[in-house]
Structure 1
């Protein structure tokens, strides 16, 4: 199953399965945000192009899900997105990634030394935040605040990376607070098959 979380305001999910799914999802999301009025055609085209660029990068990097924010509150636009990667814990060198805390968490859970008491205690989370300059493969996107949350869940051992990004670089601290709050809502249900 996928990690679940609460996204504040209004967000839309972009299908990553194929180029056609990405285009259709981007078109629906843009029309939901801006409507279909003729005078907004160029704005829709620009926004659709930005969403399709991010969706292509997400798809080629192996993302499982991509969500775009439309509004943080009614009438308050919020340029941000969330990319979700479900990863194979067995193939990751967590210490090399600076994720020793998750290594310990997964090791304890696999060795039977971990007994979850509440849903909040069944997760290990490590946050990395930075400002990414314009340039590189995402040059069309521009300068960004990016925040990665590496999430490990026990019984069975699972790992995911949730990456938030926003061009609102002047609000880095506020964005991190918001993204931390979203991660605070995270649940990662286990398939029923694991209990049989």
Structure 2
């Protein structure tokens, strides 16, 4: 098993940037105040201020708060929510990134072998951002009373020094061909670049 790493243990020199297709909302995780402010602004923008939609706003806010709380508990460095893949075409998806340590059992292997040990049965990807491994599966999730389809993707790739790993998990709760979803997120992972200082997401709105 990989161990979760606090961002301070990795350092600011390995902050990733990623190109997001379409329209995404980035929920900052640095402080409770920033998280709450971003969630409130997003709900107002997407749902509006109509009094008849007050319950919908409350439910949406509670779900986003729960998602942010789970991300913070996992020492996530990024929480991004997809709004549209194209103008007028909704594409619900979430992406959470965190840092992980290599498991001790991976010592002495090549990078590809070490990555393969993290996700047995996963597909190794030769990307411009480096070697990565990915799994994806069609499953279901139950955010409310009913189950809905969900495509879950998981990635591991090395930071430039090779000392640590970037771990990315994406959820796409929509009925769609998983292969197409995998192609989309593979392209996003391929866009990862490393730069010092604050992380930014190109294509963010």
Please, which runs of 5 or more residues in structure 2 have no aligned partner?
Answer: 1-13, 117-126, 198-205
Q: Which runs of 5+ in 1 are unaligned?
A: 106-118, 192-196
Q: 2:68 touches 2:79 (CA, 8 Å); kept in 1?
A: yes
Q: Determine the structure 1 residue equivalent to 2:192.
A: 186
Number of corresponding residues: 171
Q: Deviations over 1:131-185 (max 9, x none)?
A: 34436xx788965211011011334544101111111144322211211121121
Q: Sort the Cα spacing of 1:67 and 1:167 in 2 relative to 1 into closer, same or farther, 3 A.
A: same
Aligned to 1:123: 130
Structure 1 SS opposite 2:19: coil
Task: Kindly provide the CA deviation profile for residues 66-119 of structure 1, in whole angstroms up to 9, marking residues without a partner as x.
Answer: 011111111222210110112234xx34749xx9626279xxxxxxxxxxxxx9
Q: CA deviation at 1:47?
A: 2.1
Contact 2:151 2:172 in 1 (8 A): yes
Instruction: Tell me what 2:201 maps to.
Output: none
Moved over 4 A (4+): 93-96, 138-143
- Asked if residue 34 in structure 1 is aligned to residue 34 in structure 2, the reply is no
Which of 135, 141, 148 does residue 134 from structure 1 map onto? 141
Give the TM-score normalised by structure 2.
0.69
Q: Which structure shows the higher helix fraction?
A: 1
Kindly indicate whether residue 57 of structure 2 is the aligned counterpart of residue 44 of structure 1: yes
Superposed displacement of residue 36, structure 1: 2.5
Instruction: Indicate the residue corresponding to 2:30 in structure 1.
Output: 17
Counterpart CA distance in 1 for 2:95 and 2:150 is 13
1:139-150 map, 5 Å: 143-150=149-156
Larger RCO, structures 1/2 (Cα 8 Å, 6+ apart): 2
**TM-score after normalising by structure 1:** 0.72
Q: 2:148·2:174 contact (CA, 8 Å) conserved in 1?
A: no
Does structure 2 retain, via aligned residues, the 8 Å contact 1:102–1:152?
A: no
- CA RMSD after TM alignment: 3.1
**Cα distance, 1:16 vs structure 2:** 2.1
User: Which one has a larger percent strand, Structure 1 or Structure 2?
Assistant: 2
Structure 1 stretch displaced more, 176-185 or 34-43:
34-43
